[in-house]
């Protein structure tokens, strides 16, 4: 389980997280919802050590990872798929996957599982990843992060800018992670996407956690979305 | 993988076959080119594969050259141990400079490496009592032997240069195919992303810089031993720019690009300085009655034009274009 307690973070002198707190449990999908600039992406970056938590603690299965250097966080079992995919554009699909496998010393069996999960990548192994479609790039970014066999997977707007068929594919894969050993923290702007996959939703406002509700509560009370996201 | 092994084997075989058929002039040139191409192979690991542009690599070449040549001249070591000492000097220099310079990125890294190299150049000039500064010094032919082989003999020299180049080329190709090599390329593509995947970029960049420095040092030491000369010109900024140009011309991030770039640039300079520019000077004088003595030695003008054209029309270098259009498997 990943736990954040009273985490404050800053960009220079500007405070961007104020007492951030959340719990992500194995087999569960926790969605972060909030307006633009609310602190959703910063929360993920703080977990990854890319933005330093000034106060508070971040623990993974009881181990304090708050002060770990950024490159040590994935080795502990946290995978991150940032906004915009960030592939190694000149490397092939196979090479991108290999880099992911190397992080935690995973082998061919994990690679095969990823290719079963994203069959379209199997046909593209030798293709330079920068030439893939947006949806295929997103699948590769997710497959590469899953090659770590992460205990926690952080997804930052994975369906942004994708066509509906690709969104459905990505959603299916995320849904398949439910009930497994991986906790998923999903940042998503599209409320209907959140409702279709989330177990719980954490609303964030001005860098602070406001309310955590389960998906059923959110469906029954659209005013919550109106209050924190401004759409309904 | 098999194609890559065959291609590298074919290039080395071609260089072996060429030895007896080359004229004396080209024979000497190619031996020199192989040593300089070794330097470029090392530079390519840092620049072509890792994406770090150093403007101070001459210090590593000079560390190897002076580490070797001074041991022969002052301590009267034989050339074998002296060569190894030169390589160790470059390794230590690479480690020390890397620990400091790699704390910077981009332009900062370029400036810091340039400053280190200038400091090294000035240090060589300052201790001219030992180094003989710009004038340099020669290593007597009599001591340039190893295991009974006379390294001043043209054939022995050629094959010694070829062995060094082949070892570095194969080492470079093996590195690129290795897991560490994949991480280096990934750092070139997106360093932050590499960090987010759990790799420490600093450690890998330091590895690349040290390997690069070792190859540069081995080339410098080999130059001293095979051609019997050490001089501070080899520590000047010009010799930091050369490997960049060779790699850019041949194809950064291709294993054979450094060799091709060094060959092309060497003969471009040779042709421009020996034929084109003197001919142009004679034409200007004959046609217009204007004496232009400077024109004959302005061969860098032609080199500059060639580089501008290269950057405009083939920024990936010759083999980079070949890889993009014809041979995508080219390592």
Q: B196–A104: do the CB atoms touch at under 8 Å?
A: no
Look up the CATH number of the domain holding residue A15.
Answer: 3.40.50.300
CA–CA separation, B294 vs B192, rounded Å? 50
Interface test mutation site (partner A, options B197, B205, B315, max chain A beta carbons within 10 A): B197
Chain B positions in Cβ-Cβ contact with residue A98 (cut-off 8 Å):
179, 182
In a domain, B278, yes or no: no
Residue A100: its H or E element: helix A93-103
Q: Do the chains contact at A102 and B196, CB–CB below 8 Å?
A: no
Domain boundary among A106, A131, A149: A149
The pLDDT of residue A85? 65
Give the global pTM: 0.87
Q: Range of A92's domain?
A: 87-149
B186 CB neighbours in chain A (<8 A) are: 88, 91, 99
pLDDT at A185: 96
Query: Among A149, A175, A195, which residue terminates a domain?
Result: A149
B207: left (phi over 0), alpha (psi -120 to 50) or beta: alpha
In this complex, the residue of B192, B195, B197 whose CB is nearest that of residue A99 is B197
- In this prediction, residues A186-204 reach a mean pLDDT of 86
Residue of A nearest to B188 (CA): A88
Cross-chain residue pair A91–B186, CB shorter than 8 Å: yes
Q: Which of B179, B186, B196 sits opposite A70 (nearest CB)?
A: B196
The stretches in chain B having pLDDT less than 70 are none
Regarding whether A158 and A225 lie in a shared domain, the answer is: yes
Residue B244 pLDDT: 94
Asked if residue B54 is part of any domain, the answer here is: yes
Q: Per DSSP, what are the bridge partners of residue A205? A: A208
Residue B36's domain comprises 2-235
Domain shared by A172 and A156, yes or no: yes
Residue A86 binned pLDDT confidence (cut-offs 50, 70, 90): confident
Residues A58, A29 share a domain = yes
User: Do A135 and A161 reside in the same domain of the chain?
Assistant: no
- The answer to whether A131 contacts chain B (CB < 8 Å) is no
Domain count, chain B: 1
Nearest to B190 among A71, A88, A102 (CB): A88
Chain B contact set for A91 (CB, 8 A): 182, 185-186, 189
pLDDT at A231: 59
Please state, rounded to an integer, the average pLDDT across all residues of chain A: 89
Distance from CA of B179 to the nearest CA of A (A): 8
**Do A207 and A100 share a structural domain?**
no
A77 touches chain B (CB under 8 A): no
**Contact (CB, 8 A) for B175 and B8:** no
Are A62 and A156 in a shared domain?
Answer: yes
Share of chain B above pLDDT 70, in %: 100
Tell me if B85 is assigned to some domain: yes
Whether A57 and A161 map to the same domain: the answer is yes
pLDDT attached to residue A65:
96
Cβ neighbors of B178 (< 8 A, separation 6 or more) are: none
Q: Is B82 within a domain?
A: yes
Q: Do B197 and A103 touch (CB under 8 A)?
A: yes
Query: Could you tell me if residue A14 is inside a domain?
Result: yes
Q: Across residues A67-71, what is the average pLDDT? A: 94
Count up the domains in chain A and report the number: 2
Last residue of a domain, one of A149, A165, A196: A149
Note whether residue B62 is domain-resident.
Answer: yes
Query: Is A82 domain-assigned?
Result: no
Contacts of B197 in chain A (CB under 8 A): 74, 99-100, 103, 144, 148
The token pair at A51 is: 């933005």
pLDDT tens string A133-192: 888 999 999 999 999 999 999 999 888 878 788 888 888 888 888 888 899 999 988 777
Does some domain include residue B175?
Answer: yes
Q: Per the domain annotation, does A112 fall within a domain?
A: yes
Closest CA to A204 of A193, A192, A189, A215: A189
The top-scoring range by mean pLDDT among A116-130, A205-219, B219-233, B265-279 is B219-233
pLDDT at B272: 83
Query: Do residues A103 and A62 both lie within one domain?
Result: no
Cβ of B183 within 8 Å of Cβ of A99? The answer is yes
Q: Are residues A63 and A121 in the same domain?
A: no
Nearest to B182 among A69, A98, A144 (CB): A98
Does the residue B310 lie in any domain? no
Residue A61 lies in a domain: yes
Question: Which stretches of chain B are DSSP H helices?
Answer: 2-21, 24-44, 58-73, 79-101, 107-126, 128-131, 154-177, 179-189, 191-196, 201-227, 238-250, 257-271, 277-288, 293-296, 299-313, 317-325
* Same domain, yes or no: A116 and A215: no
**Which residues in B lie closer than 8 A to residue A89 (C-beta atoms)?**
189
């Amino acid at each position: 389980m990943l736990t954040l307690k009273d985490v404050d973070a800053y960009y220079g002198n500007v405070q961007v997280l104020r007492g951030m707190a959340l719990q992500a449990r194995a087999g569960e999908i926790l969605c972060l919802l909030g307006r633009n600039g609310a602190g959703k992406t910063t929360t993920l970056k703080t977990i990854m050590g890319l933005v330093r938590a000034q106060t508070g603690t971040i623990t993974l299965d009881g181990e304090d990872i708050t002060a770990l250097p950024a490159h040590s966080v994935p080795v502990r079992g946290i995978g991150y798929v940032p906004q915009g995919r960030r592939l190694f554009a000149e490397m092939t699909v196979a090479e991108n996957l290999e880099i992911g496998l190397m992080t935690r010393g995973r082998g061919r069996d994990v690679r095969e599982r990823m290719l079963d999960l994203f069959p379209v990548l199997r046909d593209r192994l030798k293709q330079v990843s920068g030439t893939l479609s947006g949806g295929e790039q997103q699948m590769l970014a997710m497959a590469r992060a899953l090659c770590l066999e992460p205990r926690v997977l952080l997804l930052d707007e994975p369906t942004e800018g994708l066509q509906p068929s690709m969104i459905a594919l990505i959603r299916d894969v995320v849904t398949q992670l439910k009930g497994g050993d991986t906790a998923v923290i999903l940042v998503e702007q599209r409320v209907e996407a959140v409702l279709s996959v989330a177990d719980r939703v954490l609303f964030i406002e001005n860098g602070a956690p406001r309310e955590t509700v389960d998906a059923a509560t959110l469906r029954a009370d659209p005013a919550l979305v109106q209050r924190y996201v401004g759409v309904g | 993988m098999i194609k890559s092994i065959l291609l590298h084997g074919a290039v080395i075989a071609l260089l072996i076959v060429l030895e007896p058929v080359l004229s004396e002039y080209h024979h000497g040139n190619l031996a020199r080119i192989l040593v300089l191409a070794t330097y470029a192979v090392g530079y390519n690991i840092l620049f072509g594969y890792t994406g770090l542009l150093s403007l101070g690599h001459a210090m590593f070449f000079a560390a190897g050259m002076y580490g070797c040549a001074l041991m022969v001249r002052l301590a009267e070591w034989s050339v074998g141990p002296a060569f190894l000492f030169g390589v160790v000097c470059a390794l230590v220099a690479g480690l020390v400079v890397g620990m400091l310079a790699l704390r910077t990125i981009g332009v900062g890294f370029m400036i810091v490496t340039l400053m280190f190299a200038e400091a090294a150049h000035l240090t060589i000039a300052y201790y001219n009592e030992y180094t003989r500064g710009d004038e340099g010094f020669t290593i007597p032919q009599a001591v340039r032997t190893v295991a009974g082989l006379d390294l001043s003999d043209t054939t022995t020299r050629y094959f010694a240069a070829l062995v060094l180049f082949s070892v570095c080329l194969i080492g470079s190709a093996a590195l690129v195919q290795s897991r560490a090599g994949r991480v280096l390329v990934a750092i070139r593509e997106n360093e932050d992303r590499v960090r987010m995947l759990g790799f420490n970029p600093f450690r890998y960049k330091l590895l690349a810089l040290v390997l690069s420095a070792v190859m540069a040092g081995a080339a410098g030491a080999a130059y001293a031993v095979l051609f019997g000369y050490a001089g501070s010109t080899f520590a000047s900024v010009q010799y930091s720019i050369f490997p960049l140009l060779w790699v850019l011309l041949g194809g950064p991030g291709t294993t054979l690009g450094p060799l091709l770039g060094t060959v092309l640039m060497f003969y471009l300079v040779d042709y421009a300085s020996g034929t084109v520019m003197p001919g142009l000077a004679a034409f200007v004088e004959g046609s217009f009655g204007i004496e232009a003595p400077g024109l004959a030695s302005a061969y860098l003008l032609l080199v500059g034009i060639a580089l501008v054209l290269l950057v405009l029309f083939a920024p990936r270098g010759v083999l980079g274009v070949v890889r993009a259009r014809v041979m995508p498997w080219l390592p």
